[in-house]
Amino acid sequence: MEKIEISTPFIKLDQFLKFSGAALSGGEAKEMVAAGIVSVDGEKCLMRGKKLYPGTIVEIEAEDGVFAFEVC
pLDDT tens string 11-64:
999 999 999 999 999 999 999 999 999 999 999 999 999 999 999 999 999 888
* CA neighbor of 15 nearest in space, from 25, 7, 5: 25
Task: Output the pTM of the full model.
Answer: 0.90
CA dist list (Å): 10 to 6, 17, 20: 8, 13, 14
In this predicted structure, the answer to whether residue 69 has a pLDDT above a threshold of 90 is yes
The answer to whether 71 and 6 are in contact (CB under 8 A) is yes
- Give me the CATH code for the 2-71 domain, please: 3.10.290.10
Q: How far apart are CA 6 and CA 13, in angstroms?
A: 12
30, burial (CB in 10 Å: exposed 0-12, middle 13-18, buried 19+): middle
